[in-house]
Every structure is written in structure tokens, then in C-alpha cells.
Amino acid sequence: MGMVGGGQLARMSAAPAAALGIDFRVLATSPEESAAQVVSDVALGAHDDEHAIVKFAEGCDVVTFDHEHVPPPILEKLEARGVAVRPGPHALINAQDKAIMRRTLEGAGAPVPQWRVVESAGAAEEFADEVGYPFILKTTRGGYDGKGVWRIPDVTELQRVMTVSLPPGAQWLAEAAVPFVQELSAQIARSPSGQTVAYPVVRTVQADGICSEVVAPAPGLDGDRAVDAQKIALDIAGALNVTGMLAVEMFDTGDELLVNELAMRPHNSGHWSIEGAVTSQFENHLRAVLDLPLGSPVMRAPHAVMVNILGGDVGDLYSAYRHVFARDPGLKVHLYGKEVRPGRKVGHVTAVGNDVETLLARARHAADYFSGAIDE
């Protein structure tokens, strides 16, 4: 199995690959990348370098992704050479281009916020006249972790943002701002044979566009609404023929669920599953893309919380262990081996147990201590 991209998702995939005895190769951009530090079989190359990817895929039965933005023509070439690409390019394009994703979702009957591709500031103003300010402006390609997304409060800011150069192939996508009571993520795994399993729907909390916390299962979400969210994710996976993990990020408006984003790979909203579920999202992604029967997604405790560790002023994360582990022997810490830069995701903390507020307080404390926000 080859995974394109050498970030923390590939790094965390290496553990179940080793446990299951699966030969696991990553394509990383440098030997210092997160997964390249810990995986024995590493090829170097960029996600959009056709030659590197074709060479990387030689000897792989299946190619999958830590990094979703491999150009579809390269993936089609791999398929033509007999490599199974999972998810395939026709599914993956929906995670690469938000305009295509919106059209596909609408076609599949999935609920989405009001949206429009806008070619000019004038067209965006017309959209704003219909949905009102503030509204959301995104680049259809090239965004991640809050980059490529703007909340537009007025026409002045609209005109300022639209002077930003678009990434190659990208367009402007305008969307109505959705007032929500919480943001949710519904994750499912789906195999080429069509077997699916649905993880418990979780609450995600964003700060500055970056996922900061996840609570599993989503607090206060009633059972019927949770099933609705799982059904939306299952319907999308089927309609798009997704293989592997699919994360569907949604707004819960209180009245309805609206799909915000899709990710076709293990996702930050599922890191809790390493300790919190019988089968982690990383293991089920491997099992799904290998078309092996999927593992149970059932939770191993009533609640699990995950808090991301964001880079702060302290470059040396290791030295925090003495305090963090002495204070709380039950926490699970994952560091990604990434150079610390302010605001960058460099690790996460998971706590599993019976009381959500206690779990959150414990995990937040550790994450804040790692980032240097607190010193005791």
C-alpha cells in the first residue's frame, strides 16, 4: 500500500499498517516530514509530480492519500497502469474542488448552504444582496485549515479579498453564512465492495478556521439527528463511490443539517478513534482501501475528547512530558515530529472516559501546556 503525502495522517496510519502486517510506503516531500521520520519505506517527491508518483506506485497494489490534491490526470494514469487508486479520481475531485463538490452534493440530494460560483466582485455583491452580509467566500481549490476561506462582513472587505490571487485552477465560491448551534463531523468507512461502517457523529470546534477540539459523541445531539447525519454521510459515500474514510463536516443549525466540507481520508475529527473506538479511522482506512472487511467503529468508553496541540513559543515539545504525564497518567499524547511554528498543528491529546467536562479540562490543560499558553 502506498500513501501519497508524508504528514501526520500518514504517520498515524503507519501504526495499524505495522500491526496488520501490511507493507506501507509513503511519498513524502522530504525525509524530515512527519511520516518520513517513522516509516521504513519512503519515496521522495511532490504530490503533483507525475514522474515521482508513477515511480512511487510501482510495486504498490493500492495507492491512497494523506494529501488529497493529486491532479486527477496523474491518478488516471496510475489506474491505466493497473494500480488501484482509492478513493478514485472521480470521487477525489470532490474533495479537491469545492465547486464540483457543491454541484455533486446538490445532484445527490445532500443539504448544502446556498452557494454560487462568482466570477467577479460584482457577481459576489449580487449574491450578497440575496443572502445578506456577512457571507462566506472561498477559493474552490487550494484551501486548508482556514486558509482560502474568508468571512465577508461588507462590500469593502469583499473587494479587498477578491484582489487576492487565486490558486491555479481555482474559482471564487460564495456561500451563505450558516448560523449554527454546533459543527459536526460524520465519518464513515467504505470499501470497494460497498461495505460501510459509520462512526459516532462528533462535535468539532474550530478556532481561526483550524479544528481545535473534537467531542465524541457530539453532546446534546439527539439520536434521530445523529442518524440523519450518518445517513447523509453514507448517501454521499455511495453517490460519489468513495473508498476509504470519508469525513462529512456539517453545520447543525438546530433545525437542519447542512454539509460544509468533505475529506476523503482519515481526518482530524477522527483522531479520537485511536483510543476511543474499537477500530481507529486509520486502521479502517487501510482495511477499506484494501477491500478487507471493516472493523467495528463502536466507542470503547462513553466519551472521548481530542484537543489539538498548536505550536506556540516553545520549540521543544518533549520537555513538556515531565509535567503533563506526571499530572495526568491517563492522557494519550501524539506528537507529529513537526517543527513548531505558531498556530501549526504539531500534535494532539486524547482523553477517554465518563465525564465530558472533566475530559475536556484534562486534554485542554495538556494541549495548553505543550503550546506554552500555560506553565503549570
In the complex, the residues that contact a second copy under the rule CB under 8 A are 11-12, 14-15, 17-24, 36-40, 42, 197, 278-279, 287, 292-296, 298, 300-301, 317-318, 321-322, 325-326, 329-330, 332-337, 347, 352
Residue type at 1? M
Q: Please report the sign of the dihedral spanned by the C-alpha atoms of residue 260, residue 272, residue 67, residue 240.
A: negative
Phi and psi for 332 in degrees, rounded to 5? Answer: -115, 125
Q: Which is nearer to a second copy, 51 or 322 (CB)?
A: 322
State the DSSP string of 235-253. HHHHHHT--EEEEEEEEE-
Q: How far is the CB of 261 from a second copy (least distance, A)?
A: 27
Number of neighbours of residue 334 by Cβ within 10 angstroms: 18
Q: Which is nearer to a second copy, 324 or 356 (CB)?
A: 324
Q: Which is nearer to a second copy, 1 or 99 (CB)?
A: 1
The contacts of residue 242 (CB under 8 Å, 6+ apart) are 87, 91, 190, 236, 264
Q: Which is nearer to a second copy, 287 or 345 (CB)?
A: 287
The contacts of residue 63 (CB under 8 Å, 6+ apart) are 1, 2, 3, 4, 53, 56, 57, 75, 78, 83, 84, 85, 86
Q: How far is the CB of 70 from a second copy (least distance, A)?
A: 23
Q: How far is the CB of 124 from a second copy (least distance, A)?
A: 44
Q: How far is the CB of 18 from a second copy (least distance, A)?
A: 4
Q: How far is the CB of 45 from a second copy (least distance, A)?
A: 17
Cell of 226: 445523529
Residue type at 116? R
Q: How far is the CB of 364 from a second copy (least distance, A)?
A: 19
Q: Which is nearer to a second copy, 21 or 223 (CB)?
A: 21
